[in-house]
Chains A and B, each alone.
Chain A
Amino acid sequence: MWGIATLLATGVAAVVLTRARFVYSVTLGVTTLTLVAALATLLAPGAESTLVLPIGLPWLGAHFRLDALAAFFLIVVNLGGATASLFGLGYGSHEEAPGRVLPFFPAFLAGMNLVVVAADAFTFLFAWEFMSLSSWALVMAHHRRPGNAAAGYLYLVMASLGTLALILALGLLAGPDGGYAFEAMRSDPPTATIAAVVLVLALVGAGSKAGLVPLHVWLPLAHPAAPSHVSALMSGVMTKVAVYGFVRIVFDLAGPPEWWWGALVPLIGGITAVLGVLYALMEHDLKRLLAYHTVENIGIIFIGLGLALAFGANDMPGAAALALTAALLHVFNHSVFKSLLFFGAGAVLVSTGERDMERLGGLIHRMPLTAFAFLVGSAAISALPPFNGFVSEWLTFQAILLSPSLPQWLLKFLVPAIGALLALSAALAAACFVKAFGITFLGRPRTPVASDALETDRWSLTAMFALAALCLLAGILPGYFIDALAPVIHGLTGANLPRQNELDWLTIVPIEQSRSSYNGLLLFFFIVLAAGLGAEAIHRLASARTRRSPAWDCGFPDPSPATQYTSGSFSQPIRRVFGTVVFRASEEVHMPPPGDARAARLHVRLHDVPWDALYVPVAKIVGFAADRLNRVQFLTIRGYLTLVFSALVLLLMVLAVWQ
């Protein structure tokens, strides 16, 4: 609590001071302390604490509660917050309008912390809105750049929609007696119908913040518009706070799940995962690519959550524990590597001023350390062993493989299909990050800004390398991380995975040894050993000489960097395979006639199908209604009096009929 108060005070102080170093140092200190405190709570069994403050609703007060689930998400929030502050120490000095960023940054952190510890509906919603608005202010920090104002507007609309859904959901849970404290909701679970409505509302409310398709549209516009360390927080952390909201409402407050919840949620998750990564592949703005890719990972997390619901509804707590562990581990992992990747994109942005990959290239020669950290993040997010992304996706696969024991036929058929979607999205993610890393950092520089780039500052590098180390650590020692999650899982599903760090060689075994096991440490060790042996043998036996020469390129190397593969050409095969269906992509070639020296042009048109099918009609209806209602603004005084009078009569009649 003190931490949050300090963060708020820092925000207020920052309005006056606007000294970047001071603000980021304080946020760094506070988030680190909160991180340590949350870690201690999670690891010490039964260390719950509650707090009631006499603010908020007068008859209720503000309830706060720190249980295992809250502690876990506090770790995610504050780890992201601490590294973002560290990155900000360096990155913030390049900020052109620090007065627009500094006050809101600590406020945003405070808002996210507050959501996680809130224990009554009013405090929760207040904190949720506070988080939304402070992040909106950060999105609008550079409001003069083209597109940012529109992004901020869309964000505001979607955030309002999400909060509306959450207000209704929590209102239904509170019931007519107004038991707004979470404790009261928990002791009085709703009926099945109400619980179903609550699930849908939670999907809309938390899903719109997390970026579930089709509510994702604001996310790839708003996240990249903010300064990079804030983008990292929004993508890496705020979406996780949304996941927290969903878990808290659906797993903790809405009572026992129905089996069809477990069909609906993973299906949405699977579709979100595949569409998210396909959108990301079509993108050539580095930060927007990362934002779209967040949508994919949210999909993977919701697959895990949905499976946990399916298993939980069928009274299979062990399997539910596995699925929930997979989902929550992915929450942690994604917050780590997504922050890392956004920091990398921020470092590129600072040193080149470019976000467009088509204008970058060859940065590995100029920014070797950033490139290395970004490479680790790319491998981790592509779910490649021995990094951490693979562990959580592997656990999700193991949960999917338990589906035959589900009694419902729909689930039996649906879950393998969702497994196929998950596999597809994992493979496409690798393609996406070969593109993101390869086009940005490898090859030859495409513009002068790329060839003159300079390595970024030490603060930013420290933040990136700390996260990169965590990616590897969580990948080779996953047992410790799974064990740390045990109290959270036990609290929500009533079961646990076998304890992992008592097994030989730090292997992880979700169910039993003969069924499946994975050992990241051994794999890492073997890869290093085999590569080392190979290198040693080769350098002893083979010619060790290396000559430098121009590239071979089948005999026709072209000095112009425009002859390289670009981001658009890299994704062209995938666009042809998937894009014609998913994006209704069309290509137009304008070829000048022979003898004409004009350049040929290729136009690619992609349609955002959810946008066209869902948002455009709604916007049209709203516009139409607004046009019609506009007339009401310009009535005569007689007209207004008639209107008021008839409205009154109508309401009275309704009242009369009602009773």
Chain B
Amino acid sequence: MAVVLEALVQFCQMLVVLALAPLLAGYVRKVKALLVGRRGPPLVQPYRDLAKLLRKDVVLAHTASWVFRVAPYLVFAATWVAAALVPTFATGLLFSYAADMIAIVALLGSARFMLALAGLDVGTSFGGIGSSREMMIASLAEPAMLMVVFTLSLLAGSTQLSSIAAFMQTPDVGLRVSLALALVGLVMVAIAENARIPVDNPATHLELTMVHEAMILEYSGRHLALIETASFVKLLLYVSVIGCVFAPWGIAVSGEGFAAYLAGLAAYLAKLTVAGTVLAVFETAIAKMRVFRVSDFLGAALMLGLLAALLRFVSRVT
């Protein structure tokens, strides 16, 4: 019975992340528009965009190889699988043991690897600039993320997200400096990884500081739809990770009743709303930085992560 329930939760989770991801992106856009005094597109605009892209033909460059055509599916698959393994509204996912947090970070790395290759495939300067910068950013963001994972797992004694979330709900967590540093580091990584301001600007691809949008410039039609979906899912994934580790309230634990799951879902939606609003306010309030300042930004995230891991040893609570 428990297995069936876990499988059901796992399945729901896969659908929930896929269904909610464009909504989160639409919500952030809406709030940003409202903050600068525009009315903004409706919340469901990302869904409409995806549907429109799906109806369009794919226009493929003559020089594109199979890597270019396979990459969107693999990027989408790897991101989706990673997101499906992060507890959103309930822990006790059937397959959560398949990948711990390090493996989830690495799965996102696989997706990025394929996408960066696809950026180089057509042989244009825009694709190259995007891939090259994306890999530079990733080379700093990934270690920073892993240092955050280190800190968390040193505290919780586990790299499994379910175990960390369970630990965070116990009273012996307390307020810790290293947790605060890890949170800041994780947020900085999330901003960089999702190509948000101040690292990159998701709203434009006609600026020379562009990273992600330049890499996917040659994509069109269904391929572009998949890549866009993958980047929506990735944003949702990072919000879910932050939510499940630093705000684990309301997450349903396996074995609780149906009501607990509904409460968990409601709590999750509330977390998404808060995170989306904060992100939109942050993005409106801050200016984009030059691309070579990004290394300072992410270097700071890496140092925060390392400091958080080291402070763990000096703090008195053990």
Contact B124 A551 (CB under 8 A): yes
With A554-B206, A565-B129, A576-B292: A416-B309 Cβ-Cβ less than 8 Å: yes
Q: Does residue A390 face the partner (Cβ distance < 8 Å to B)?
A: yes
> CA separation between A417 and B307, bound complex, in Å?
10
Contact B135 A531 (CB under 8 A): no
Task: Please give the distance in Å from A523's CB to the nearest CB on chain B.
Answer: 6
> CA separation between A423 and B218, bound complex, in Å?
31
Contact B131 A523 (CB under 8 A): no
Contact A361 B107 (CB under 8 A): no
Task: Please give the distance in Å from A132's CB to the nearest CB on chain B.
Answer: 35
Q: Which of B50-58, B242-250, B269-277 contacts A (4 or more CB under 8 A)?
A: B50-58
Contact partners of B158 in chain A: CB under 8 A:
514-516
With A516-B160, A551-B62: A577-B136 Cβ-Cβ less than 8 Å: yes
Contact indicator per residue, chain B 137-174, by CB within 8 Å of chain A (1) or not (0): 01111110011001001100111100100000000000
Q: Which residue of A lies closest to B153 (CB)?
A: A401
Contact indicator per residue, chain A 415-431, by CB within 8 Å of chain B (1) or not (0): 01101100110111011
Contact indicator per residue, chain B 28-70, by CB within 8 Å of chain A (1) or not (0): 0000000000000000000000000011111111110111000
B109, B112, B123: the one within 8 Å of A561 (CB):
B123
> CA separation between A427 and B109, bound complex, in Å?
8
Q: Which residue of B lies closest to A549 (CB)?
A: B59
Q: Does residue B87 face the partner (Cβ distance < 8 Å to A)?
A: no
* Interface residues on chain A, size class: 35 or more
Q: Does residue A412 face the partner (Cβ distance < 8 Å to B)?
A: yes
Contact A384 B61 (CB under 8 A): no
Contact partners of B222 in chain A: CB under 8 A:
538, 542-544
With A523-B99, A530-B80: A515-B63 Cβ-Cβ less than 8 Å: no
Q: Does residue A550 face the partner (Cβ distance < 8 Å to B)?
A: yes
> CA separation between A135 and B100, bound complex, in Å?
43
Q: Which of A180-188, A190-198, A435-443, A647-655 contacts B (4 or more CB under 8 A)?
A: A435-443
Contact partners of A574 in chain B: CB under 8 A:
135-136, 139
Contact B136 A551 (CB under 8 A): no
Contact A518 B128 (CB under 8 A): no
Task: Please give the distance in Å from B59's CB to the nearest CB on chain A.
Answer: 5
Within 8 A of B (CB), among A417-468: 417, 419-420, 423-424, 426-428, 430-431, 433-435, 437-439, 442-444
Contact partners of B313 in chain A: CB under 8 A:
404, 409, 412-413
Q: Does residue A519 face the partner (Cβ distance < 8 Å to B)?
A: yes
A522, A545, A547, A551: the one within 8 Å of B123 (CB):
A551
Contact indicator per residue, chain A 556-597, by CB within 8 Å of chain B (1) or not (0): 011001011100011111101100000000000000000000
Within 8 A of A (CB), among B116-138: 116-117, 120-129, 131-133, 135-136, 138
Contact B117 A437 (CB under 8 A): yes
> CA separation between A518 and B146, bound complex, in Å?
16
> CA separation between A569 and B135, bound complex, in Å?
13
Contact partners of B74 in chain A: CB under 8 A:
527, 531
Contact partners of A557 in chain B: CB under 8 A:
124
Contact B123 A444 (CB under 8 A): yes
Contact partners of A375 in chain B: CB under 8 A:
67, 117
> CA separation between A443 and B302, bound complex, in Å?
33
> CA separation between A517 and B61, bound complex, in Å?
42
Q: Does residue A276 face the partner (Cβ distance < 8 Å to B)?
A: no
Contact A420 B98 (CB under 8 A): no
> CA separation between A531 and B107, bound complex, in Å?
14
Q: Which residue of B lies closest to A385 (CB)?
A: B106
Contact B218 A401 (CB under 8 A): no
Contact B138 A430 (CB under 8 A): yes
> CA separation between A549 and B261, bound complex, in Å?
50
With A416-B306, A427-B138: A546-B125 Cβ-Cβ less than 8 Å: no
Q: Does residue A246 face the partner (Cβ distance < 8 Å to B)?
A: no
Q: Does residue A513 face the partner (Cβ distance < 8 Å to B)?
A: yes
> CA separation between A561 and B159, bound complex, in Å?
46
A527, A548, A558, A573: the one within 8 Å of B292 (CB):
A573
Contact partners of A437 in chain B: CB under 8 A:
117
B55, B129, B131, B154: the one within 8 Å of A542 (CB):
B55
Contact B61 A551 (CB under 8 A): yes
B60, B124, B154: the one within 8 Å of A564 (CB):
B124
Q: Does residue A241 face the partner (Cβ distance < 8 Å to B)?
A: no
Contact partners of A530 in chain B: CB under 8 A:
76-77, 80-81
Contact partners of A639 in chain B: CB under 8 A:
none
Q: Does residue A526 face the partner (Cβ distance < 8 Å to B)?
A: yes
Within 8 A of A (CB), among B77-131: 77-78, 80-81, 84, 95, 97-100, 102-103, 106-107, 109-110, 112-113, 116-117, 120-129, 131
Q: Does residue B217 face the partner (Cβ distance < 8 Å to A)?
A: yes
Contact partners of B67 in chain A: CB under 8 A:
364, 375, 442
8 extra interchain contacts, Cβ-Cβ under 8 A, other than A423-B142, A442-B123, A550-B62?
A: A364-B67, A417-B306, A417-B310, A431-B139, A438-B120, A517-B97, A534-B80, A564-B123
A-B CB proximity, top 10 nearest: A565-B128, A443-B123, A438-B120, A423-B143, A573-B136, A444-B123, A531-B77, A530-B77, A431-B135, A542-B54
CB<8 Å pairs between A and B, sample of 23: A384-B113, A413-B310, A419-B147, A420-B306, A427-B109, A427-B138, A427-B140, A430-B112, A434-B116, A434-B120, A434-B131, A516-B159, A519-B97, A519-B98, A530-B80, A534-B76, A534-B226, A542-B222, A543-B56, A551-B124, A552-B61, A557-B124, A564-B125
Chain B residues with a Cβ under 8 A of chain A: 54-63, 65-67, 73-74, 76-78, 80-81, 84, 95, 97-100, 102-103, 106-107, 109-110, 112-113, 116-117, 120-129, 131-133, 135-136, 138-143, 146-147, 150, 153-154, 157-160, 163, 206, 217-218, 221-222, 225-226, 291-292, 295, 302, 305-306, 309-310, 312-313
